[in-house]
A and B are shown apart, each in its own frame.
Chain A
């Protein structure tokens, strides 16, 4: 094999090209099928919310697009290493490389097309879907879903998350509960340092910045629980800044919020009026 592939006396260039193409195409077909039908259904963040489902579709698409590139590089390297390896006893330079304009044009055009297409696709997912793909969009979101939304404020502080429901008397709770099938408008903020609100299975991730209102949307598709973590290193107990959220039926949510209003009534009386952000007060002595 090695002697056949040597520059002198080996098969012509187009034979190598054909072989490479066949190997690459076969691997790519198998790889894409595996990504789409075997790995795809298990890809994060899952299927818990509309946003999570969209993100999983994007992850599958990106992984499938990466397969031809990955196998293109690996196939070329493996083929070159095995076929054009210099034989024992001989020591000679390889043929001079003087450029290949057609290949260069194809390479530049193809990679530019992939990058620009992905840019357009990402923009459409962020804006055209009118959901913002579950990410924090800042105080003035460009992609706002239509219809009625439940508003929940997510408040980060060292080292706990609390959740405020302005439509229910401004009650603040230590657990996040959301109604199934209804879009929730999350207003993420912080009372001290920067945190990052990550509701993993819901596909929501939004920075919690003091004095800032970071808006994200999520529409849970079914009931169940999900993990909440801080995704920004925020100090000593950052690793403990986790929680478990719940998606409930609409009736269950109505009962739960009533229960929370009663249980947290003493604290609710002392809370400041609802605001989209709070500045880190008090600093009577500290700071």
Chain B
């Protein structure tokens, strides 16, 4: 092979490698879960979520996850929610997962909601026994944190494939919070709920679209 041909081959291979790396990076950066707009409600918006012990579909059928319902009642597997600024957001979370327990009981208290409270199956509470927590819905930069009570371990009719219907075992948690200025606020679960990962912190805990996401206030 001539020197020119060698140089051309090396140049082409290098260019191909650069293109592949660039595509990988762009794909990684652009792979954000889709955004679902919260339904309109008097004075603001209504956000309806559910947590499931196992998503039940590819790519990770055994991962724990959040789902969100759009204004038309359809469930979406995403954790990016859009809500209006300077408004009340009424949240309902259908909790289908069993309890893991809080690593830090600090998060057992309801913080940042209207009245500093939530309702669990209709009962008003300002804190939860940390051992009963299955997940939390926390937006640290807004000072909001709500512990979510898990379904009893021996509950019948437990759900294992999302989206879960209300006919299956669940607890219903409601609360209201007020949004401030527009921005993109991260939210997360503070329960180490990622089964089979070290200390429960890997997999879905480290992946937007599962147990972490953004609240887009616009």
Contacts and interface: CB of A to CB of B under 8 A. Distances in A.
Given A160-B190, A287-B198, A270 B103 contact: no
Residue of A240, A280, A286 most packed against chain B (CB within 10 A): A286
A35 interface: no
Contacts of A162: 104, 106
Contacts of B201: 158, 192-193, 235, 286
Contact of A236 (B101, B131, B197, B212): B212
B180 interface: no
Contact of B194 (A172, A237, A280, A286): A286
Interface in A146-202: 155, 157-160, 162, 172, 174, 191-193
Residue of B107, B192, B196, B198 most packed against chain A (CB within 10 A): B192
Interface residues of A, number: 30
B213 to A, nearest CB: 11
B206 to A, nearest CB: 4
Contact of A286 (B109, B141, B200): B200
Contacts of A287: 192, 197-200
A282 B188 contact: no
Contacts of B143: 174
B98 interface: yes
A267 B129 CA distance: 9
A155 B103 CA distance: 11
Nearest to A234: B201
Contacts of A282: 100-103, 131, 192
B12 to A, nearest CB: 36
Contact of B127 (A157, A270, A283): A270
Contacts of B141: 240
Contact of A270 (B110, B129, B205): B129
Interface string A227-253: 000000001110010000000000000
B71 interface: no
B56 interface: no
Interface residues of B, number: 39
Given A193-B201, A235-B201, A157 B108 contact: no
Given A191-B103, A235-B206, A237-B186, A270 B199 contact: no
Contacts of B197: 286-287
A271 interface: yes
Contacts of B126: 266
B130 interface: yes
A267 B207 CA distance: 28
Nearest to B200: A286
Interface string A273-287: 000000011111111
A237 B188 contact: yes
Given A159-B188, A270-B130, A284 B207 contact: no
B57 to A, nearest CB: 21
B193 interface: yes
Contact of B207 (A174, A193, A236, A266): A236
Given A237-B188, A264-B109, A281 B99 contact: no
B193 to A, nearest CB: 6
Contacts of B102: 282
B105 interface: yes
A286 B188 contact: no
B84 interface: no
B105 A236 contact: no
Contacts of A96: none
B195 interface: yes
B208 interface: yes
Interface string B51-88: 00000000000000000000000000000000000000
A233 to B, nearest CB: 12
B70 to A, nearest CB: 25
26 contacts: A157-B104, A159-B140, A159-B188, A162-B104, A192-B103, A192-B192, A192-B201, A193-B199, A193-B201, A236-B208, A237-B212, A266-B109, A267-B106, A270-B108, A270-B109, A270-B130, A271-B105, A280-B103, A280-B199, A281-B103, A286-B192, A286-B195, A286-B196, A286-B197, A287-B197, A287-B200
Interface of A: 155, 157-160, 162, 172, 174, 191-193, 235-237, 240, 264, 266-267, 269-272, 280-287
Q: Which 4 A-B pairs have the closest CB atoms?
A: A286-B200, A267-B109, A266-B127, A282-B101
